[in-house]
Amino acid sequence: MKIIADLHTHTTFSHGKGSVYDNVTTAMIRGLQAVAIADHGPRSAPWVGASINAFRRMIAEVRNLDRRTMGLKVLAGAECNITSARGHLDLPLEIRAQLDIVLAGLHPGILPRSGKDWLALTGANWYAKVNPGYRKRARVANTRAVIEAVLRNDIDVVTHPGYHLDIDTVELARACAFRNTALEINARHHEMTAEFCRLAAAEGARFVINSDAHAPDAVGNVARGLAVARAAGLGPEQVLNLEGGGLFEWLRQKRGRSQWAEWSEQRPLDQTGQGRTGRQERTGRQPSYYTDWANQGKIH
């Protein structure tokens, strides 16, 4: 098994060590067909994220290089932060619409959208560390934020699910399968285990394996991710950026659906939380955030 593209690499636009040119050079040497520059969104811890203007410069640099790299597609991307309990991203639609690929993930060190969001995300996870009784609530908050992000936005890949912040992979996998959003098997972090992958695949989710390179020599370095995929019994039917996984076709499909993005910007989707918990308690069935939401007619 071999990947044809590394869709998650960082540069000095955020806190990577090399330039766009450096990452592209390594990708060429390693024989990849595509590499994405996906730097951190602006609301990462202050000294880490790329500003909106930096994204504009990055996109221009990528377009310029892409014209000169025969056999290698250079993609302009971002690793957006999920900055609210309702799944807001930290890059405006104006920038996301110009990107070839949008990644998004939960990170512990971010500037949330508001004080309330800080409490619901960062605060809840900190508190869960000292009070184990609170862990379940933090997990529900994390899961809800990522699922809302997937349903409301134009996300192609959810990066490193479970990294530092506990999350219900099965619930997330259902939403991702519905939205044709890939889950990332991140070769740098170790949270996506073979068991998680098996559970997510059973829900119909698909995957990409990425290096999350923060230095040019790590571009295309996905041995650990490949090992996880192999152990989970995944092949090109489930892993989009493997040889024969249909990556470019999937990317084309994904870029052609901006109506979702516009819809999500305009409609508040966060008013469904109240009754759900009560109903789950009454019926005693397994809580399923995504299916409950779908059953309420919020998704068509």
Q: How far apart are CA 161 and CA 254, in angstroms?
A: 20
Choose the stretch contacting Zn ion; rule: CB under 5 A; options: 153-161, 244-252, 256-264, 290-298: 153-161
- Decide: 208 and 7 in contact? Cβ < 8 Å: yes
Find the shortest distance in angstroms from Cβ 100 to Zn ion: 17
| 184 binds Zn ion, rule: CB under 5 A | no
| 148 binds Zn ion, rule: CB under 5 A | no
Find the shortest distance in angstroms from Cβ 33 to Zn ion: 21
Q: How far apart are CA 144 and CA 138, in angstroms?
A: 10
Find the shortest distance in angstroms from Cβ 162 to Zn ion: 12
| 212 binds Zn ion, rule: CB under 5 A | yes
Find the shortest distance in angstroms from Cβ 256 to Zn ion: 26
Q: How far apart are CA 2 and CA 233, in angstroms?
A: 14
The 83-112 contact track toward Zn ion, x by CB under 5 A, reads ----------------------x-------
DSSP per-residue string spanning 9-66: E--TTTT-SS-HHHHHHHHHHTT-SEEEEEEEPTTBSTTTSPPHHHHHHHHHHHHHHH
* Residue 246, CA distances (Å) to 1, 170, 208, 239, 249 in order: 14, 24, 11, 9, 6
- Using only C-alpha atoms, what is the Rg of the chain? 18
Which residues in 233-262 contact Zn ion (CB under 5 A)?
A: none
The 45-84 contact track toward Zn ion, x by CB under 5 A, reads ----------------------------------x-----
Q: How far apart are CA 175 and CA 272, in angstroms?
A: 16
Find the shortest distance in angstroms from Cβ 141 to Zn ion: 19
Find the shortest distance in angstroms from Cβ 275 to Zn ion: 34
Of 50 and 247, nearer to Zn ion (C-beta) is 50
- Among the residues of 104-214, which ranges form H helices? 115-118, 124-130, 135-152, 169-179, 194-202
Choose the stretch contacting Zn ion; rule: CB under 5 A; options: 69-77, 123-131, 138-146, 208-216: 208-216
* Residues engaged in binding Zn ion (CB under 5 A): 79, 105, 159, 212
